[in-house]
Amino acid sequence: MSDVIKLLPDSVANQIAAGEVIQRPASVIKELVENSVDAGATHIQIILKDAGRTLIQVVDDGCGMSDTDARLAFERHATSKISQAADLFALNTMGFRGEALASIAAISQVDLRTMRRGESVGTRLIINGSKVESQEPEACQAGCNMMVKNLFFNVPARRKFLKKDSVELSNILREFERLALVNPEVEFTLVHNEAVIHQLLRGSLKQRIGELFGKSLEKQIIPVETDTSIVKITGFVGLPEYARKRNTLQYFFVNGRNMRHPYFHKAVMQCYEQLIPSDEQPNYFLNFEVAPDSIDVNIHPTKNEIKFENEQSIWQILVAAIKESLGTFNAVPSINFDAEDMPDIPAFNPNVNAQHEIELDLSYNPFAKTTTLATPRSSGGGVSSSWRRETNPVTSDWEKLYADFTGKRDDSIENIRASAINDIGAIADIKENEVIVQSKLDIESDDVTQNLMQIKNRYIISPSKSGLMVIDQHRAHVRILYDRYKDLAQLGAMSTQRVIFPEVLQLSSSQNAIMESIYDEVCAVGFDVSYLGDNSWSINGVPSVIDGVNSKDAILQMIESVTESGDEMGAGLKEKIALSMARAASIKVGQQLTQADMEHLMSDLFKLATPNYTPDGKLVVSIISIDDLHRLFA
């Protein structure tokens, strides 16, 4: 049998590597901008067409490359960042593997112009799908000007799986925000289809946060700073009163690199326990500076997951630093003693000789038929300090004393008796309604019985013929509302209810791109929104079917749903919006329900054609069979 293991051609190997390194246009921007930062650029311009499908152009004023370096840079594992394996543990640059440019060239058409500082002539290199077509001298500016055209032109399957332009642009903007935050000393310009989206000047981290997410955010964050032998932590955390259920801004940086770190995220959340509700999260922008040899960034192709050598120690330092900032800026609620009803205690005066004399009459009997009243005894028209007692006949008629009280008590009893009679009638009506509801449930499902019980304000328990039925109340209501909203959306029958005081929804640039693309659909389901500029929207009206629901949260759920799915316009998008509205308006986990609420929920659920699962496939109803119960006690 002949040998079966073969060495892959470089073009194939580069396309495989591109599958890990280059997943979408945002990945290309990340790699090219990081190379520009490593080259010492102080101004980086990003020009896009069609959300990066047609063109991604990155222009910088970095050190530039020679003609030989420009040609060699597109070979696999060709890099100037490291020269030996030991260098991986002393990295001071963003890139180091030498795979990015080779991967980009393998799935696009590249046009590079570059010139080193101090030289008069640069070079132009044209590559088409890993194949070098030409390289010749070119007069150009110092730095690099790289154009990546027709991404995935030679990999149709990969290009087909790209999302619509608004979704891809949203991903690009999120990646741009991370790159801009971690490099506040660099000027950035972002242009899409000849429209300037961002133009950021160099400045501090706080200024960069305000430029990206709005000046109002600068007032909602407080600084965090600590410096130890293990780690230096700087940045900002949000005040507890500005915590959000959605649209949270949470960023970790280490040595100028973005990272995801669930362990440190838990440390931040621990600092906000008892300060914010459990379903809300704070904003934070935290930068870690550690020795390069104490972290490992070479564990994921995107280099976003980083392993720390002293994670537990950094956890403790991080928690202490955040708690100190929250305490310093009075973010932690202080003890407030209510002094409104406290007695007025005079200040102690040592010069005052306070003496009090009390004269007691041991013969005084309060239950006697007569009692003596103390009256002052006059002497020479004045009032003496001594007292005499006079005996006045005061009759103790206890029956008259309590006559009024007894009458009122009798009247109250009569009122209670009459109220009880009315309540009995109401109870009878309720019982009759229960029978009616139960009869409907029995028609819809033989498993539902009249005995319903709520567990942990989350599940509804009901005995059934086949065992024990458990229903998730939140998912059940989502299932019910989704069908209702979807039908209304398809028919265009969503009515709008105007609000007295319009709310302002502030979005990030990435969210604003999605909002603009789904504007017509959002209005079609009953929202009345208008653009105010600077990524702000005014909510002037809401669908009448979700009256009382947080309108901002509902729209943010729509944006998130479209971002995650990337659905095109049409019925699919309307279904996503209907699901988002159902989630926003549904009964929440932890909400206490009355018996009537549970019966109404069950009745509506079992009228549906598919009550067992939510629209996104999550289980709504589960049956614990009699056999399972028997096995528990076997």
- Domain positions in the chain: 10-200, 205-328, 468-621
Dist. CA 596–CA 434, nearest whole Å: 8
Q: Distances in Å between the alpha carbon of 176 and those of 33, 161, 189? A: 9, 22, 10
Mean pLDDT for all residues in the chain: 77
In tens, the pLDDT along 279-315 reads 889 999 999 999 888 887 756 555 567 888 888 999 9
Given this model, what pLDDT does residue 427 score? 36
**pLDDT at residue 238 above 60?**
yes
The whole-number pLDDT of residue 335 equals 47
CA distance 173 to 517: 15
Per-residue model confidence as pLDDT tens digits over 571-601: 566 677 777 778 877 888 888 888 888 888 8
> Smallest Cα–Cα separation from 228: which of 122, 333, 316?
316
pLDDT band at 164 (very low <50, low <70, confident <90, very high): confident
Between 204-208, 425-429, 460-464, the lowest mean confidence (pLDDT) is in 425-429
DSSP label at 333?
P
- Provide the token pair at 260: 């995801």
Residue 421 or 491, more confident: 491
Supply the pLDDT for residue 134: 92
Is residue 632 scored above 70 in pLDDT?
yes
Residue 633 pLDDT class (50, 70, 90 cuts): confident
Q: In 3D, which of 76, 75, 58 has the Cα closest to residue 114?
A: 58
Mean pLDDT of 499-516: 86
Cα–Cα distance between 605 and 601 in angstroms, integer?
6
Proportion of the chain in helix, strand, coil states, percent, rounded to 5: 40, 25, 35
- Tens-digit pLDDT profile for residues 94-110: 555 567 888 899 899 99
CB-based contact 262:277 (threshold 8 Å): no
Of 223-227, 319-323, 494-498, give the lowest mean pLDDT range.
Answer: 494-498
Q: What is the pLDDT of residue 298?
A: 58
- Please enumerate in sequence order all residues whose Cβ is within 8 A of that of 350, keeping only pairs 6 or more positions apart, or say none: none
Is residue 411 very low, low, confident or very high in pLDDT (cuts 50, 70, 90)?
A: low
Higher pLDDT, 458 or 301: 458
Decide if pLDDT at 518 tops 60: yes
Distance CA 87, CA 293 (A): 9
**Which of the two residues, 10 and 415, has the higher pLDDT score?**
10
- Say whether pLDDT at 1 is over 70: no
CA geometry: angle 252, 258, 264, nearest 5 deg: 30
Q: Give the pLDDT confidence of 213-235 residue by residue, as tens digits.
A: 888 888 899 999 999 999 999 99
- Return the CATH architecture of domain 468-621: 2-Layer Sandwich (3.30)
343-361: per-residue pLDDT in tens?
455 555 566 565 556 666 6
What fold characterizes domain 205-328?
Ribosomal Protein S5; domain 2 (3.30.230)
Spatial contact of 521 and 573, defined as CB atoms under 8 Å apart = yes
For residue 541, the model assigns a pLDDT of 87
**Lowest mean per-residue pLDDT among 131-140, 201-210, 371-380, 488-497:** 371-380
Percent pLDDT > 70 in the chain is 70
Count of residues in the chain: 634
Question: What tokens does 496 get?
Answer: 């709008």
Q: Tokens for 124, please give them.
A: 């132009």
- Nearby residues of 536 by Cβ (< 8 Å), 6 or more positions away: 504, 505, 506, 507
Which amino acid makes up residue 439?
A: S
**How confident is residue 172, by pLDDT bands cut at 50, 70 and 90?**
very high
Q: Rounded distance, CA 513 to CA 171, Å?
A: 10
Residue 127 clears pLDDT 90, i.e. is over it: yes
pLDDT tens sequence across 49-84: 999 999 999 999 999 999 888 888 888 766 655 445
Per-residue confidence (pLDDT) for residue 569, from 0 to 100: 44
Taking alpha carbons only, the member of 507, 614, 533 closest to residue 166 is 507
Better pLDDT: 331 or 507: 507
Q: Which two tokens stand for residue 119?
A: 């030289």
- The DSSP annotation for 19-72 comes to HHH-SSHHHHHHHHHHHHHHTT-SEEEEEEEGGGTSEEEEEE-S----HHHHHH
The topology under which CATH files domain 10-200 is Heat Shock Protein 90 (3.30.565)
Bridge partners (DSSP) listed for residue 480: none
Range among 236-240, 450-454, 585-589 with highest mean pLDDT value: 236-240
Local confidence band at 272 (pLDDT 50, 70, 90 cut-offs): very high
Distance of CA 244 to the CA centre of its chain: 6
Q: What is the pLDDT of residue 295?
A: 82
Q: What single-letter DSSP state applies at residue 490? A: H
pLDDT score for 379: 42
Q: How confident is the model at residue 186 (pLDDT cuts 50, 70, 90)?
A: very high
Among candidate residues 206, 205, 203, 31, the one with its CA nearest the CA of residue 108:
31
Question: What is the 8-class DSSP label of residue 85?
Answer: G
Q: What is the mean pLDDT of residues 367-380?
A: 48
Q: Is the pLDDT of residue 27 over 50?
A: yes
pLDDT of residue 386: 42
Res 547: pLDDT = 60
Strands of the 467-472 sheet, one edge to the other: 453-455, 459-464, 467-472, 621-625
Q: How far apart are CA 358 and CA 339, in angstroms?
A: 32
Comparing C-alpha atoms, which of 529, 544, 563 is closest to residue 165? 563
Confidence of residue 496 (pLDDT cuts 50, 70, 90): confident
pLDDT (mean) for 438-462: 63
Residue with tokens 């943010």: 556
Look at residue 436 in the predicted model and tell me its pLDDT.
33
pLDDT band at 206 (very low <50, low <70, confident <90, very high): very high
Helix 205-213 vs helix 165-182: angle between axes, to the nearest 10 degrees?
A: 160
- On the question of pLDDT at 418 being above 70, the answer is no
Instruction: Report which of 250, 254, 249, 252 is spatially closest to residue 232, judged by C-alpha positions.
Output: 254
DSSP-assigned letters across all residues of 215-236:
GGGGGGEEEEEEE-SS-EEEEE
